[in-house]
Homo-oligomer: A and B are copies of this chain.
Amino acid sequence: MIPNEVDLAEEFGCARATVNRALRELARSGVIDRRRKAGTRVALNPVRRATLEIPVIRQEVEGRGGTYGYALLSREIVSSPADMSDLAAWPEDAHVLHVRALHLSDGRPYAHEDRWVNLEVAPEIEGADLGEVSANEWLVRNVSYSRGRIVLSAGAADARIAEVLGCESGAPVFQIERTTWLHETPITWVRLSYPASHRLSTSI
């Protein structure tokens, strides 16, 4: 148990607001547990928290020192398939834009993008030139979302992804799935597949 804010402010000769801010940072990083009535304790098993940055893929590639490239592989409007409904609480019979694209770094495959966009929420994307600007960047610039979910996993490349990434069918791929919602309505669901050499790093 650590002293209360007033005592800490006195001990360290600083403003109570400063102590409050410091404790908030420590609680955010998981080192202390703050309970409204029970007081503040040093965490027994500190749950450390790491921050993942989620830039647009162009920035991700450039941030790693590569030259960015992009190719639209396919684009079609479909009714939302059943498996999408499960993943993102997709409305039944919604009109959905399905886009597949390849992101490149220095001319080499960097990530395969498989994306579904709800045209009820983002109808203007129908008129966008997605051969020029990726759906990833178009959405970040044009559609705000209220919340999102990210799921990281390992998977096996299917034949189509293996061909595009230049790996064997069944080879491990690193997957980032992301769903974003505007309030309760899904905007987009995307699965990015990276070759097994991909590393996603962060600090704690």
Contacts and interface: CB of A to CB of B under 8 A. Distances in A.
* Most chain B beta-carbon contacts within 10 A, residue among A59, A152, A173, A174: A152
Interface residues of A, number: 46
Given A53-B49, A172-B173, A154 B151 contact: no
A52 B176 CA distance: 14
Given A152-B174, A156-B196, A147 B51 contact: no
Interface of A, helix, strand, loop or mixed by DSSP: strand
Contacts of A198: 153-154
The quantity of this chain's copies bound in the complex is: 2
Interface of A: 17, 30, 44-56, 59, 137, 140-141, 147-156, 170-175, 178, 180, 194, 196, 198-204
Given A45-B140, A50-B51, A172-B196, 17 more contacts: A30-B54, A45-B141, A47-B54, A47-B59, A50-B150, A51-B51, A51-B52, A54-B204, A147-B204, A149-B201, A150-B201, A152-B200, A153-B200, A155-B172, A155-B196, A156-B171, A172-B173
